[in-house]
Structure 1
């Protein structure tokens, strides 16, 4: 149970005793300044109108009842009424010391949550078309998907990571034609892919391309398979260190197994599909779309929309009723229609989509342009060759998904503590050094003072933050919290000495160990290393 949850229970208990409405929505927040306490509640202001009393009067009434509770007296050093009717709670030194001991005992388990109780969820991310190398945009979605999976696992979910290989359809036909055009077998077109990797593939494979002049999709599938196995997958597994539970082939799993016809049959039975001009349409305007969408063209070719519905049906049939998709910004307008179609055939499914906004790589004030077809873009492979993985991971999750992101290459290359990754890692390494030096020294049993307890409340926020991110998916809160926690450690380290005259104060050792445990768990959640030593 987190401290927030404990306060909620304490307040609810008091509310019942003074006969206030029991079903009021109760929120516990962090005050804007530590001077106003560690936690705050505005329940008095919420109930003021219905109870026909001033918020200050109600807050005072609740405070009086709270102070009759023995648990309140041990948990808080002070409960006060402030401002227009806030109830502010100051944690006691005794409580903070108990939680510090809990952190040292539970270690990484301290931050874990039972929010979901092993509920299954699938996160499908990256899923880049196998028509070229991974771009920075793919990297952003990749790292955010991986970190979100780590968060949800810590919240008690059974998480499956999946990569959907788009190895069929128009983009594969275009890829085949791009190769033929690069080999001068057919005229070039601006819609084709023009990266150097096309020419490289031609040199490596040396196929008899005349055999594929009328079979561009078959040729495209060969090229796509090579791009995926030789370029995309190695970067994901070896470079980005992302371990997918499954790589799902659209061609093998949906087209060859005839799953697309099956889902079209289900959609027809739903009553939301009709035929017009020899094509089959989904009546998406019934669900707020600006126009109905084609499922099967007049020449009986399935659209991407129909294929995607079939894929999500397959997910549900594999037992995943909770689905999270991470898509690029160019797919934002596609979300509502897919959700509505999935609901039609699988009402129990909860499908959520995270849209990742665009990335720009900035160096020296200049932007590198990205265009997969023109071949003028920065690949993830290149970025991982010039920057450590830890730095790349941090930078990609430090902003919310719905904001455009400028990747500051100059700051990322900086190896000093100006770089936020190194700032945090240096703190962890310093703590490791302190703990190592105390190993052979005498440890004196000491108690936590009120002054030293001041900054420890931040350590207690990790399990609360984890639960919040498990619901909101705001991964940038982790990096922000890490920086705040690291600053707090440095302030403590400058003010107090763990070792004096070859002796160690036990409570101070517990404090630095507490910082180390939480810092390490946060970094592990991000997939970033927590080094014991740092090279200057």
Structure 2
């Protein structure tokens, strides 16, 4: 049980004891609901339960608070209880409780802070990035990759079973436009006077694809019909672009359980049924389909949408929304409890119709859409609009190549998804405290250096040779069960207090889909470690103090590394 939960149980027990002996006349008691005080001088935890009980108990809130404090049972967790203000109950933890956090971290290691959630919401389909396979990723896609991957990691640590999925938009007119764009560039490169149509993909990468076809096949495609050439080039360009997208994401450390092709929604099985027809049949059974002007409509206004939506147009062609209907039905039929889609902010108006389709099938609330704002690129404070290399947009791949995976991920996750990111390329490349990811990674590397210094030369050599892990080295210099009672300095207590918050942080970040909170936590923890290192000599003549402080260093190392790992960022042992 977490420290907070244990304390809440103690306060709840005090209220029940006061009710039992008549000190508080309550028919029903509110929960303790502890919170961190804004000012650390007010203790470790605070409860407003007395204020919430006062009217029901017909007593002054401070009087209620005192009654509750007087009924707190004997325990080893609470060092002091103070009544403050209009009736706040402020609690100070015993040093032993905080010292116990060090033991718990070292004992659980990468499982520290791991949570569980109630049944019914556990199996989650998380779909993100899902760019059209018609060109390279832009930096906004990099934000979705960072956010989705970190969200999955944090949710898994919080107890969810997360299935990561990428939806390939490989069906529809944009694919034909892509094939035609490559076809035109191919002909132009071979000297044919052909104009690029207004509806086209005009990026330099289209020309590159056409040149690769020429290098491989020469002019063999000049003498076929336009239709055959466009169809062939569409598939070639699609395969090449998708392979590039997969390679970029793999290099970024973002992987998916499934790459789902939109085309597959329209493929019929042995019974002549496709995902599209199955989803329509299910919606028809619920009475939400009707025909008008030769088209098939979804009666979404019955479910709160501002207008009904066309699924199949009069000419028999499926709308873009039809694909979404079939895709989300397919997801739910695969057994997921909850669907999370990460979309760009420009898709805000699309949410309601998608919520309606899930409700039409009888799954209200099953879809959750997270919207992400854009990324604004800067270089030394000046906006970056174009790539130096191509004179066009800066691609995600170019950003990774210049800045690196760790800095890109960390800075992309530094703010809530609903806020725009101002990403300064030069700041991301700095090797000093002005770069937040460097600051956090340096704290981890410094701890590893301290642990190596504390070991004898043989152990250091074993670590360098990969024969001994850092955890094994730490166990040698600060054995399990070592005395931690000397960890009472304010800097030590602050560091342990911060680590005690980790489990609650994970639970809330997983629930709120907010991995950005871990970047703030990592920076706070790193700052507290640097303060501790300044104020408390780790390698000291007092052997007992040194061992205890090395154990504290090791626990901090574990939590820093775990936090970075959940963000998809490395935790280097040397810098």
TM-score of the pair, normalised by structure 2 = 0.86
2:240 to 202, 223, 226: 226
- Is the CA contact 1:193–1:375 (under 8 Å) kept in the aligned structure 2? no
- Is the CA contact 2:265–2:326 (under 8 Å) kept in the aligned structure 1? no
Q: Deviations over 1:38-64 (max 9, x none)?
A: 111112222333333332222222112
- Is the CA contact 1:326–1:354 (under 8 Å) kept in the aligned structure 2? yes
1:88 to 90, 110, 113: 90
* RMSD of equivalent CA atoms: 2.4
SS at match of 1:70: coil
- Is the CA contact 2:477–2:547 (under 8 Å) kept in the aligned structure 1? no
Alpha-carbon distance between aligned partners in 2 of 1:41 and 1:83, rounded to the nearest angstrom: 12
**Number of the residue aligned with 2:472:** none
Does residue 245 of the first structure (1) align with residue 285 of the second (2)?
no
Report the CA distance between 1:468 and its aligned residue: 0.8
**Number of the residue aligned with 2:51:** 45
Q: Deviations over 1:438-494 (max 9, x none)?
A: 223987956224335431211100111001111111211101111111111111111
Alpha-carbon distance between aligned partners in 1 of 2:124 and 2:90, rounded to the nearest angstrom: 37
Cα distance change on mapping 1:138 and 1:45 into 2, 3 Å: same
Report the CA distance between 1:26 and its aligned residue: 4.6
**Number of the residue aligned with 2:503:** 463
**Number of the residue aligned with 2:463:** none
Q: Deviations over 1:371-419 (max 9, x none)?
A: 9xx9831111101110121111100101100011111112111111211
Report the CA distance between 1:173 and its aligned residue: 2.4
Cα distance change on mapping 1:484 and 1:442 into 2, 3 Å: closer
Cα distance change on mapping 1:60 and 1:314 into 2, 3 Å: same
- Between the two proteins, the alignment pairs up a number of residues equal to 526
SS at match of 2:112: helix
**Number of the residue aligned with 2:421:** 405
Does residue 148 of the first structure (1) align with residue 154 of the second (2)?
no
Cα distance change on mapping 1:8 and 1:356 into 2, 3 Å: same
Does residue 201 of the first structure (1) align with residue 213 of the second (2)?
no
1:477 to 517, 532, 537: 517
Cα distance change on mapping 1:210 and 1:193 into 2, 3 Å: farther
Cα distance change on mapping 1:324 and 1:218 into 2, 3 Å: farther
1:105 to 104, 107, 120: 107
Cα distance change on mapping 1:145 and 1:210 into 2, 3 Å: farther
Alpha-carbon distance between aligned partners in 1 of 2:300 and 2:484, rounded to the nearest angstrom: 68
SS at match of 1:355: strand
Cα distance change on mapping 1:115 and 1:415 into 2, 3 Å: same
**Number of the residue aligned with 2:526:** 486
- Is the CA contact 2:181–2:196 (under 8 Å) kept in the aligned structure 1? yes
Alpha-carbon distance between aligned partners in 2 of 1:370 and 1:331, rounded to the nearest angstrom: 25
**Number of the residue aligned with 1:434:** 450
**Number of the residue aligned with 1:33:** 39
**Number of the residue aligned with 2:181:** 178
Alpha-carbon distance between aligned partners in 1 of 2:392 and 2:50, rounded to the nearest angstrom: 59
- Is the CA contact 2:115–2:507 (under 8 Å) kept in the aligned structure 1? yes
1:516 to 557, 567, 572: 557
Does residue 320 of the first structure (1) align with residue 336 of the second (2)?
yes
> Looking at CA atoms only, which structure, 1 or 2, has the larger radius of gyration?
2
- Is the CA contact 2:134–2:241 (under 8 Å) kept in the aligned structure 1? yes
Alpha-carbon distance between aligned partners in 1 of 2:233 and 2:29, rounded to the nearest angstrom: 64
Cα distance change on mapping 1:48 and 1:178 into 2, 3 Å: farther
**Number of the residue aligned with 2:406:** 390
- Is the CA contact 1:323–1:349 (under 8 Å) kept in the aligned structure 2? no
SS at match of 2:71: helix
Structure 1 window deviating more from structure 2 (207-216 vs 358-367): it is 207-216
Report the CA distance between 1:232 and its aligned residue: 0.6
Structure 2: 5+ residue runs without aligned partners? 20-25, 215-219, 457-475
**Number of the residue aligned with 1:236:** 249
- Is the CA contact 1:121–1:324 (under 8 Å) kept in the aligned structure 2? yes
- Is the CA contact 1:116–1:157 (under 8 Å) kept in the aligned structure 2? no
Alpha-carbon distance between aligned partners in 1 of 2:253 and 2:222, rounded to the nearest angstrom: 36
**Number of the residue aligned with 1:448:** 486
- Map 1:296-315 → 2, pairs under 5 A: 296-315=312-331
SS at match of 1:271: coil
Cα distance change on mapping 1:307 and 1:212 into 2, 3 Å: farther
Structure 1 window deviating more from structure 2 (344-353 vs 467-476): it is 344-353
Cα distance change on mapping 1:222 and 1:256 into 2, 3 Å: farther
**Number of the residue aligned with 1:15:** 15
Report the CA distance between 1:177 and its aligned residue: 2.9
